[in-house]
A and B are shown apart, each in its own frame.
Chain A
């Protein structure tokens, strides 16, 4: 018994990362940034608006949150649809009550299917980013590049037409990528994407078609992750967001030795089909009330990135 000799080759064992996508750096050693009005934390409320097709193909995997039962899985189809019919309008009320400036990440297919919802968001003037075509149109390692190229291009181009917005942001469905996704995004005029969760602040991500910005949209603090994956209680979810907010404000003021000082980002990725339920919406309101009473700046993803970039 033995493994192939190649198993003991370490071709990337040298300073920095084991790939050339971004530079190695420590967040605590980065230049401190300040947010407008000297706020310590930028609050980025990100709302995915998703379409989960009933005839899910599941290539190369079943998207988390998608269909799990034999066709027709009406329970999951309709429960996800609930978010776009009911939950989102509870969200909008809550955002307005607490003065939140949200960002919406929409599946292009949903934008086509629900013009009323799209018009509502357009009229509000909030930022819209592209969340791929739909939740069963995954980007994945080994995917045919022509197929993916068409998928990226049509998702973004159609969304630009539907929204009259110059779509700059991207989240892949399931936050999964192929080895080519970053290049394809850069080629199609995307400026920032939110799939990589390795930082709490933006950083430059290299592609052969020009750099992207990686925006730090925490997965660990996402409603779906905490409530559906971890099965934590709603009250614990509220507590976790409050603890995170308190910690980030403290860190923004500087760790010991004054290291790590500088504005931070509290990124809340929240799904209308999850937090928009009647028994959960009050929990979102509690969070927004608490966070907005702290030293925070509520802003869109693009506004946060612009402010960050201007200080580099």
Chain B
């Protein structure tokens, strides 16, 4: 085990090279709906139980299924209303289970990135080859069902190994060259994109995917009231928008259809989206587009700046 994962160097949030998004926009905004499939009776992982009760874990399984049966279309129509294309963190087995959902997202030109095969299959305990095969399977599924070359990764249920990011970057290159495997949502250390060290040395970035703005973290872990969640989203936006005068910032709202799409949470969420999208100077975009823009325009400057401040 390591005391530091070694993915990035210290890079102070002041006097960084100025980022500008396409068309001179100062702030990037993206929404990442997690579209997940949880299994009722997954095989046992020795390091983490999928459910608190023995099979069948009716309470936990059924509310997550609610997200697909009921919640997905609610959130999809809401995002459409505010001109937002979702960047889907996808349990890729959902392509097989619920292709109807995949089709609706394809029609809307949404991005799909890998969130593993099932959210009940954890990375813990996998050999490097097993994890590589799982990641490859997930990226191939996305390509097969959507024609998209998967650019981003969020490990299933945020379960990682030390090699997760290396493997994702390598499999991306193997399958899709420079278009595949270029960004991760697994790290929460910054409000701007960060170059990440991987074994292959390819240009690979961490894109801010806020855990604090994640609806499941807010509602389930922190037990936040729905209206307060809406206020938190607005406050988060206000400060990032203000700071974007100095250098481009990014706001991400990671969501789950079994949380934010419940009837008592939709109003506060809609008010926040309405507020955010009413501003000028924001680039409403997807994870892949942010990563591409950063790699093409700011990556090298960022590396030089990190080096000048004592990084490698």
Contacts and interface: CB of A to CB of B under 8 A. Distances in A.
Interface of A: 1-4, 6-10, 12-19, 24-28, 60-61, 140-142, 175-179, 195-200, 218-221, 229-233, 236, 239-241, 243-248, 251, 255-257, 259-260, 266
Interface in B192-208: none
Given A15-B99, A198-B63, A177 B223 contact: no
A248 B59 CA distance: 22
A26 B96 contact: no
Contact of A243 (B56, B117, B264): B264
Given A219-B59, A246-B267, A61 B70 contact: no
B227 interface: yes
Given A10-B93, A256-B81, A197 B62 contact: yes
B143 interface: no
B39 A175 contact: no
A248 B125 contact: no
21 contacts: A7-B43, A7-B121, A7-B126, A12-B39, A13-B93, A15-B99, A19-B41, A140-B53, A177-B58, A179-B55, A195-B58, A197-B59, A198-B70, A221-B263, A239-B225, A243-B266, A244-B262, A244-B263, A247-B264, A255-B77, A256-B80
A24 B69 CA distance: 8
A256 B125 CA distance: 45
Centre residue among A220, A230, A236, A260 by max chain B CB count within 10 A: A220
A141 B56 contact: yes
A244 B58 contact: no
Contacts of A140: 53-54
A255 B73 contact: yes
Interface residues of B, number: 58
B7 to A, nearest CB: 21
Contacts of B129: 2
B127 interface: yes
Given A17-B65, A232-B223, 19 more contacts: A3-B130, A6-B43, A8-B133, A10-B118, A13-B96, A16-B97, A18-B39, A26-B73, A27-B69, A28-B73, A60-B53, A176-B53, A179-B55, A195-B58, A221-B263, A243-B227, A243-B264, A255-B74, A256-B80
B31 to A, nearest CB: 17
Interface in B46-87: 46, 53-59, 61-66, 69-70, 72-74, 77, 80-81
Nearest to A142: B54
Centre residue among A13, A25, A230 by max chain B CB count within 10 A: A13
B232 interface: no
A251 B261 CA distance: 12
A176 B264 CA distance: 24
Given A220-B264, A236-B225, A255-B74, A1 B125 contact: yes
A90 B166 CA distance: 62
Nearest to B98: A24
B191 to A, nearest CB: 28
A239 B227 contact: yes
Given A61-B53, A141-B53, A3 B45 contact: yes
Contacts of A26: 69, 72-73, 100-101
A221 B264 contact: yes
Contacts of A255: 73-74, 77
B145 to A, nearest CB: 12
A140 B228 CA distance: 36
Centre residue among A175, A196, A233, A260 by max chain B CB count within 10 A: A196
Nearest to B121: A7
A247 B69 contact: no
B253 interface: no
A155 B208 CA distance: 53
